[in-house]
């Protein structure tokens, strides 16, 4: 790391005066277009008109970008939402997906042994009630 005198850097930063902003500060022509037609676009969206249809209608109406081309629907959508948020409208949150059948479902337990393998209670047998009995395998002849 290069060595610097921390006081000289601090002095230089303290001596700075606020400068003029550089770059684009005015809204673009496309943004101004969306601002001018915001209510109409919002009304069309409330009727479930697609962004592709809106972009096509604007192009057919002679509204184009600075280069003379059609405004793409993704750009139009982004510009619309940027204006919507600038006007103070809050973002809509998606509803959380409901948990699958959490109520009334029994907890998973180990599978029960098949009934054929469980001995019925037998007073003469030494095994505890419900113990497994060994069943001899069949011969494969």
pLDDT in tens, 72-87: 899 999 999 999 988 8
| CB atoms inside a 10 Å sphere around CB 137 | 6
Unique residue bearing structure tokens 């939402």 = 81
Alpha-carbon span 113 to 135, nearest angstrom: 14
**Domain, as residue range, for 38:** 26-86
What confidence tens digit (pLDDT) does each residue in 45-102 have?
A: 999 999 999 999 988 888 877 777 888 899 999 999 999 988 888 777 777 877 776 5
pTM metric for this prediction? 0.48
As for how many domains the chain has, the answer is: 1
- Could you say which DSSP state residue 62 is in? T
In a domain, 70, yes or no: yes
In a domain, 48, yes or no: yes
In a domain, 52, yes or no: yes
In a domain, 4, yes or no: no
| CB atoms inside a 10 Å sphere around CB 57 | 14
Contact (CB, 8 A) for 71 and 65: yes
């Amino acid at each position: 790391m290069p060595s610097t005198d921390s006081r000289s850097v601090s002095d230089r930063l303290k001596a700075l005066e606020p400068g003029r902003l550089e770059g684009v500060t005015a809204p673009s022509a496309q943004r101004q277009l969306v601002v001018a037609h915001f209510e109409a676009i919002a009304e069309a969206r409330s009727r479930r008109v697609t962004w592709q249809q809106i972009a096509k209608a604007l192009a057919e109406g002679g509204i184009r970008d600075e280069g003379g081309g059609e405004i793409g629907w993704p750009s139009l959508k982004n510009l619309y939402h940027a204006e919507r948020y600038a006007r103070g409208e809050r973002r809509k949150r998606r509803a959380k997906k409901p948990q699958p059948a959490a109520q009334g479902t029994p907890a998973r337990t180990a599978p029960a042994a098949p009934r054929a393998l469980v001995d019925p209670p037998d007073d003469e047998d030494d095994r505890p009630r419900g113990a497994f009995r060994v069943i001899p395998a069949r011969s494969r002849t």
